[in-house]
A and B are shown apart, each in its own frame.
Chain A
């Protein structure tokens, strides 16, 4: 398992829209490396007789009743948006000109 590089952390941070300081990049690179290493151990024990699973707990049918809970106020909802227009999230052009 190759180590997670500082550049890879910077790339992930950019994708996640997180502003990380230089020392944080080093810090998280080491941590992520450990996490990836821990996950890799699963592959070592996953033999043919162990069925794949999508959840750690042997539970099913966890539902909530159909009841309304308070929503956020629009100004709260929009507070993290890079751009807002007419109480909506404003996003850059999605598709270019029609071919």
Chain B
């Protein structure tokens, strides 16, 4: 890569500099039709099958705003504690680039629909308030593929081919105010904010917020200033960071890069940078110093939006329970610590635990299995918990089998393994693998007799009052029964047989 740079180790960078962040997040709304025309918005349709005269900018066509998209944007603004404009307009953002057939994008400029809100996130037990500058509505661009050249990138390509299916899909842009004072937590704060925002938007049901499909995209602004300084440094903007993990890595990587340059007496160029998923590094894109003038002006083809106050109040009253409120409620219901709740949140396990509890499992058991054995298996397989091929109802059934004494924890793990391997429901796996606990007292008694005979020394110790030695005998019974014995009952019977009860 052309600009391989030296980096300053993160801890050293943070000893010398303080980071200031800014995040711009784009969310594609999940409306059935596009923002200004009736074309469908389905992801992955064959190229140029979801286009019409309006979104292709053919002469004589006129845009009309999608009511649902306006409402969704206002709901996002309300959920972010924003003020909703009493009157605002769309604006033309003029630029010459083939991803917009009009040569401008319909966006909002100095009159955004929502302003001045906030979103609280919790990082490391500390609540950080992220101030929201604005939430505005615009249209997405088409998708270009660059042909020729060696890398498939725009630089060096011979030409490009464009699919306008995505052009005109409603896009909400959520912009934070500068986030200062996060110190060493900056990368985690950035990630926590995007995570919380994604959850919030998903709860509102206005977008599927799939970062891997691009329906949620993040631009990350980072600048550094020397410790103790009050003057912010020059910032860079890293574009299209497309996973939560990448948000964190992009902030961290940019801090390390900028710190090395500044410490070396250099200056930061205000520019757009591209994030590379494989390396976690950014490379220089176009420089903002030659920034274009977008010649914004009010969109003459669309009428102003003047949201009725009663309507806004009704939308606010009808907001669903927001994620942070819901988490507090569930934490109280489940009686878990802040730490355990944060761990479940980070593992994306809250919904799964909630559904498992709804299917009849005690909260402690549901949490134990999802955060223990299942988290371990997801980690091994390198997938998200929710991607495991087991349902909350199946996990609830396993907890029920354990509670009834039909399974112990060891057998339950084997049942989970069977379900994950596609062997059927928990009951199917129990039947097929023969995993029932040995409840037949006669069978258990026979196993114990054999174990006592084989371990006469240990048996004598227990007889002579060293009850601790019973552990080895219980272990022997568990082994002899291939884990199917009820350990507690086996212990009782052993003590009984040895006359130590």
Contact = CB atoms under 8 A, between A and B. Distances in A.
Interface of A: 54-55, 57, 59-74, 77-78, 80, 85-98
B346 interface: no
Interface of B: 2, 31-33, 37-40, 46-53, 56, 58, 64-70, 87, 89, 97-98, 144-147, 154-164, 297-300, 302-308
Given A54-B299, A60-B304, A71-B39, A66 B32 contact: yes
B205 to A, nearest CB: 13
B305 A69 contact: no
Nearest to A92: B159
13 contacts: A60-B304, A60-B305, A62-B64, A68-B33, A68-B40, A69-B33, A89-B48, A89-B161, A90-B159, A91-B144, A91-B159, A93-B158, A93-B160
A55 B297 CA distance: 12
Closest 9 CB pairs of A and B: A69-B38, A54-B298, A66-B68, A63-B67, A88-B161, A98-B155, A60-B306, A91-B98, A64-B64
Contact of B47 (A61, A72, A88): A88
Tell me the interface secondary structure of chain B in the complex.
Answer: loop
A72 B61 CA distance: 13
Contacts of B307: 61
Contacts of A54: 89, 297-300, 304
* Most chain A beta carbons < 10 A, residue from B154, B155, B297: B155
Nearest to B91: A54
B66 A64 contact: yes
A77 B40 contact: no
Given A57-B303, A62-B64, A72 B53 contact: yes
B160 A72 contact: no
Interface centre among B47, B70, B308 (most CB of A within 10 A): B47
B87 A71 contact: no
B158 A64 contact: no
Contact of B52 (A71, A80, A97): A71
Given A54-B304, A63-B70, A69-B37, 20 more contacts: A61-B305, A61-B307, A62-B65, A64-B67, A66-B67, A66-B68, A67-B33, A68-B39, A69-B52, A74-B49, A74-B51, A86-B161, A89-B98, A90-B159, A90-B162, A92-B159, A94-B98, A94-B146, A94-B154, A95-B155
